[in-house]
Amino acid sequence: MFKQRVVFVHGAGSFGAAAWPKQHGMALSYDALFLRRHGYDPVEEPLETDFCADAAIVLRALADDGRGEAGGHVVAHSQGAIAAMMAAVERPELVHSLTLVEPACLSLTAELPATAAHRALMQPLFEVRQHLSDEDFHREFVRRVFAAQSPAQSGLGDPNPEDRREACRLRLQAPAWEAPLQIVPGVPTLVLTGGWEPLYEEIAGYLRDTGAVHRTAAGGHRPQDSAEGNRLIRAFIADVGRQQHAHAS
């Protein structure tokens, strides 16, 4: 039986299948691919963010499933939502739906108050990151972004020797407000947020006003790990898939 493809695009921290512990079971019903973005490798040294390279990785995953079929659903978290949106703008016919979880799409909302405040807080840190150690940058990043959250909720944890590669990768990331984003026309889109941070609610509101569906589930920056968040993701993809199948029949 033919399975629709679902491509998962991670944010910071864990990557590949490890970034989606509650969605592993979707592989029973879908052709599920858990991607690694540019610079995320278990062996090679981390690389600086390349938004275009990330988008190209998503498009390659959608281009052909080996059976002559192309396209699929894209589920993306945090900064991974940038690559998902860029891919959908470039090849909208390949993207059956977008699910954007706590999307770090700051360049869309740059003039809005929560985004402007976040940039004012974080830009000075990014401006001096070349002069900081990986650990010092990691520590200050977590302090500024997740001051109201515990490390476990933030998903980044406290720096220690075992976290060196993760800390290095975090320091090399490009500020999300620099991403070349545009609104994606005509692609069914779900935005899922955790309801904990005005920044992500502001971005979700902007996307809702441009046609997306917005839902909230508990879980801080990782609502996809909650039972309700996981249910919302699965229900949205299944509903879009049924509608597209009915339309094609």
Tens digits of per-residue pLDDT, 24-63? 999 999 999 999 999 998 888 889 899 999 999 999 999 9
pLDDT 10s digits, 138-194 = 889 988 887 644 443 444 444 443 467 888 988 998 999 999 999 988 999 999 999
Q: Which residues contact 222 (CB under 8 A, 6 or more apart)?
A: 77, 101, 102, 153, 155, 194
174: which residues sit within 8 A by CB, 6+ positions away? 48, 49, 51
Query: What confidence tens digit (pLDDT) does each residue in 193-213 have?
Result: 999 999 999 999 999 999 999
pLDDT of 87 higher than 90:
yes
pLDDT at 220 over 60: yes
How confident is the prediction for the chain on average, in pLDDT? 90
DSSP category for residue 23: T
Please report the pLDDT score of residue 67 as a whole number: 57
pLDDT of residue 44: 85
Between CA 146 and CA 132 the distance in angstroms is 19
Tens of pLDDT, residue by residue over 222-237, are 999 999 999 999 999 9
* CA gap 176, 180 in Å, rounded: 9
Instruction: Sketch out the chain's domains with CATH numbers.
Output: 5-109+178-248 (3.40.50.1820)
Kindly write down the DSSP assignment for every residue of 87-137, as one continuous string.
Answer: HHHH-GGGEEEEEEES---GGGSTTSHHHHHHHHHHHHHHHTGGGS-HHHH
Task: Please tell me the distance from the alpha carbon of residue 48 to that of residue 164, in angstroms, as a whole number.
Answer: 15
Residue 177 is predicted with a pLDDT of 95
Mean pLDDT of 17-21: 96
Query: According to the model, what pLDDT value does residue 147 have?
Result: 64
Cα 247 to Cα 249: distance, rounded to the nearest angstrom: 6
C-alpha separations of 28 from 1, 2, 6, 25, 244 in Å = 12, 12, 12, 6, 20
3-state SS class at 45:
coil
Contact between 225 and 75 (Cβ < 8 Å): no
What b/e readout covers 134-165, taking b as 16+ CB neighbours within 10 angstroms? bbebbebbbeebbeebeeeebbbeebeeebeb
Tokens of 103: 């999307």
* Structural tokens at position 145: 């972004």
- Count the alpha carbons within 13 Å of 167 in the hemisphere toward its beta carbon: 18
Count Cβ atoms within 10 A of the Cβ of residue 110 and give its class: 0-12 exposed, 13-18 middle, 19 or more buried: exposed
